[in-house]
Structure 1
Amino acid sequence: MIKRILILGAGNAQIDAIRFCKQHGFTVYGCSYTDADRGIPLLDGFRRIDIRDVENVSAYASAIGADAVYSVGSDLAMPTAAAVSERLSLPRFISSETARICQNKEKFRRFLGPDFEGNLPYKKARSLDDALFFDAFPGIMKPVDSQGQRGVCTVRSREEIEAQFARSRSFSASGTVILEQLVDGPEVSVNVYRQDGRTVFLLISARGVFGEYPGGIIKEHLLPHGLSKAGEQRVRDLAERVCAKLKINDGPAYLQIKLDRVREQPYLIEVTPRLDGCHLWRLIRHCCGVDLLETSFLHLLDGACSSFQPRPAFDAYRLRFLCEQPGRVFDRARYDVSGAEYLEWYYETGDTVRPLNGFMEKCGYVIEPVHPGENE
């Protein structure tokens, strides 16, 4: 019997999931708040529904007889995917409560608690007056319930909070920001896969960001990660403890972690119970031979547990985003992709780059080898 899958969202992050499902013979439906997403032409059916709207997503899933409701790369989608799956008795990896905690940055910090090693001091603020009580400078201010670095900025004084507060708050559906202490040091991504409460796969990659822009806007992901053995073990321990605390017992999880430059002590920036939105599954498959996207769907749909056998060693590689400022006319000829072993464009030449984070937008990506000394 052909499986019917409802994917929440149809943008660049979800195209990987849509393609996988189509290649495996599934009937694939989608919904989004916009009918302009790049993945819509790939779908068998589409309805314009805000993916946060549990009632209407549930009705659509029932109408199409969905066997599963899922998404990749979207924090906004996960609470809905879990809630709809609970309502309709469809397979799921996590509870809707876990999804809601992970989707809201303040709920997440509060859930971990002040005694959780790796959590950060923070201040929740609905008004500028509340925000001005924050004094753990330098800090990061961001909307509690947005994604993709939207509205994220560095603040080093109360004057900078005053200057940036309204813009940061404007990206929050609930009108709330969170201010967190800034960690000075390297940042890593952690891709985890869990089965029956056990971590069966964990890979750490280094994150390269645009230093000239606020909020840690991603530029590239690098393998291997470059941490010391002690730093790697601390990151692994933190990832294990976070997944256990959140009851992410099955399926993928993605964590962003920063390490103190002096002691290499890790601190959690965020965690989400899904595959990341940066196509890291493809970099991991390219380097390690492990396909987290395939594993996720087969595990979700059939309960099939995979036997992970990553390659014991791999060459240095990176996933590099091809970025441009919003509002500019895109031209593929501006980019050097000569060393790419995998290439994907989000835009055609002549398209106007749409604003998402407002500073530097992803317009495509390459997977390419890193030559010795290149990133030193």
Structure 2
Amino acid sequence: MSRSALVLGALPGQADAMHRLRSAGWTVYACGHVADGPGVAAANEFFVVDIVDVDAVAALCGRLEVDVVYSVGSDIAMPTVAAVSERLGLPLFHSSEITETLHRKDLLRAFLADRGVSPVAHRVVRDESQLAGFESYPAIVKPVDSQGQRGITIVENGSQARSALPAAWAASRNGAAVIEELLVGPEVSVHVFVVDGRIELFLPSDRHVWDGPLTGIPSAHTMPSRILGEHDTAEIHRLAEHFIGALGVVTGPLYFQLIITEAGPRIVEVAPRLDGCHLWRLIEVHTGFDLLTTCFAMLTGEPWPGGPMPRSDDVHHTLRFHLTDPKVPFDPTAWSLTGFGDVVFEEFHLEPGELARDTNGLVARLGYGITRDFE
């Protein structure tokens, strides 16, 4: 049976989905506010429609008569996915209410605090006066609803927090910021897939962070985790189960980012989607399981195929991003992963001489590779 999808966005993560779907026989459309990115060519047809314009995306879905509207790796796309799917009766994983709770950091923190899950001192700030009485420094100031690490600043005191607020407010579509106690410890990501309220897939990986001036930029992911022991892994699984039950998730993917503090694992973010770091490919390389195609198949009513079998060896795979100054033209001869292990996959998103997409003025992705690591 022929199936069709509208994918919101045209960046490399969305292009991954388009290529995989087209290879499975789907007709794939895409849209974005400008015709820019690898997804423009990856789709059967691209339309200039802003992915945050719910009415425009719904009209496009109706005109194309697609079976699914979805996105990969885009926080700002997911509220539109939920709203359009509900309006048109298209299949979806997570309701608008769940999606909005996970999309906005203020709502997520309030949800966690109300249920005593992953406690983190925090406060929503819409004007400077709301910083009064907040004493959990050092802290981190964030926009409540942005992506790509924009507008995030680590602060040591109230004066620095006040100085950081304008950048956070400017990066927030909602116009609000949140200040949280700074969580210290190694970072991990966890891919979870829930089926009928049960965790059927639970795949932690180490999240390595770029050693640069911006906070929280991922530079690499390693699977399986070298950081987590059995106790921490069990604690995270229990935390995920508690969270999923409290939120009322029935079926669908979730992407957790956590920090392992001295007090235990703490949730940083939870996304109602697959990640934006191409980790579906790391999962496929390491386990043989195609999580990306599975997501779309289940949206169209196919049953859960069963998760990957655990590996019995000690092999580790690492996905490493090629990070660059966005003002420096791409030179493919300047990049090599051979010192880390056997390169099993590598992809660049640019042609020689091109500039990387600049989202923050300091660092951009040229592409990525996956290695079977040397022990």
CA distance in 2, matches of 1:173, 1:201: 33
Q: What per-residue deviation string (whole Å, max 9, x for no partner) do you get for residues 145-164 of structure 1? A: 10121111211112322332
Asked whether 1:47 is paired with 2:47, we answer yes
Are the counterparts in 1 of residues 118 and 267 from structure 2 also a CA contact under 8 Å? yes
Verify: 1:219 aligned to 2:223, yes or no: no
Kindly tell me: are residues 360 and 131 of structure 1, through their superposed partners in 2, closer, same or farther at Cα, counting changes over 3 Å? Answer: farther
Identity %: 36
Q: Deviations over 1:104-160 (max 9, x none)?
A: 110111122344231312111122333455321111111111012111121111232
The equivalent residue for 1:364 is 367
Partner of 1:303: 302
Question: 1:256 maps to which residue?
Answer: 257
- Do structure 1's residue 326 and structure 2's residue 322 form an aligned pair? no
Number of the residue aligned with 1:242: 243
> CA-to-partner distance for each residue in 1:13-43, whole Å, 9 max, x for gaps?
1011111111111111111112112210121
Match of 1:65 in 2: 65
**What do the CA deviations read for 1:240-294 (whole angstroms, capped 9, x no partner)?**
222222222212110000011x34x011000011110111111111111221112
Question: Structure 1 332/52 Cα, relative in aligned 2: closer, same or farther at 3 Å?
Answer: same
Name the aligned partner's letter for residue 99 of structure 1.
T
Is residue 101–residue 107 contact of structure 2 (8 Å, CA) maintained in 1? yes
Instruction: Choose which of 325, 334, 343 in structure 1 pairs with 2:346.
Output: 343
Partner of 2:272: 273
Q: CA RMSD in A?
A: 1.5
Given that 2:329 and 2:354 are in contact with CA atoms closer than 8 Å, whether structure 1 keeps it comes out as yes
Letter paired with 1:350? G
Match of 1:152 in 2: 152
Q: CA deviation at 1:348?
A: 1.8
Does the Cα contact within 8 Å between 1:327 and 1:354 map onto a contact in 2? no
Equivalence map 1:9-48=2 (5 Å): 9-48=9-48
**1:326: how far off?**
2.4
| Structure-2 residue corresponding to 1:106 | 106
Describe the superposition over 1:33-63 as per-residue Cα deviations: whole angstroms up to 9, x where unpaired: 1211221012122221111111110000000
CA distance, structure 2, for counterparts of residue 188 and residue 33 of structure 1:
32
Q: Report the residue type matching 1:298 in the other structure.
A: A
Contact 2:187 2:259 in 1 (8 A): yes
Secondary structure of the structure 2 residue equivalent to 1:341: strand
Secondary structure of the residue aligned to 1:116 is coil
Alignment gaps of 5+ in structure 1: none
Are 1:132 and 1:161, in contact at CA under 8 Å, matched by a contact in 2?
no
Identify the residue that residue 76 of structure 1 maps to in structure 2: 76
Deviation of 1:78 after TM superposition, in Å, equals: 1.1
Residues 1:136 and 2:115 aligned together? no
Tell me if structure 2 keeps the 8 A contact 1:151–1:357. Answer: no
Instruction: Say if 1:326 and 1:186 are closer, same or farther in 2 by CA, change over 3 A.
Output: same
Letter aligned with residue 353 of structure 2: G
The whole-number CA distance in structure 1 between the counterparts of 2:132 and 2:161 is 7
Per the alignment, residue 291 of structure 2 pairs with: 292
Aligned residue for 2:352, secondary structure, equals: coil
Partner of residue 207, structure 1: 207
Deviates more, 1:64-73 or 1:348-357: 348-357
The answer on whether the counterparts of 1:154 and 1:214 sit within 8 Å (CA) in structure 2 is no
TM-score between the two structures when normalised by the length of structure 2? 0.95
State which drifts further: 12-21 or 129-138: 129-138
SS at match of 2:357: coil
Secondary structure of the 2:22 match is helix
Tell me if structure 1 keeps the 8 A contact 2:257–2:267.
Answer: yes
The AA in structure 2 aligned to 1:19 is H
Look up the equivalent residue of 1:340 and give its one-letter code.
V
Write the distance in 2 (CA, Å) between the matches of 1:135 and 1:177: 16
Cα distance, 1:337 vs structure 2: 3.1
1:248 touches 1:273 (CA, 8 Å); kept in 2? no
Counterpart residue type for residue 187 of structure 1: E
2-side partners of 1:273 and 1:322: how far apart?
26
Match of 1:233 in 2: 234
DSSP-derived class of the 1:322 partner: strand
Q: In structure 2, what is the Cα distance between the partners aligned to 1:84 and 1:232?
A: 36
1: CA distance between counterparts of 2:223 and 2:308? 18
Letter in 2 for 1:277: G
Q: Is the 8 A contact 2:117 2:243 kept in 1?
A: no
CA distance in 2, matches of 1:145, 1:327: 27
Moved over 4 A (4+): none
Contact 1:142/1:153, CA 8 A, preserved across alignment:
yes
Q: Provide the secondary structure at the position in 2 that maps to 1:285.
A: helix
Local SS of the residue matching 2:300: helix
Q: Distance in 2 between matches of 1:293 and 1:324?
A: 27
Aligned residues: 370
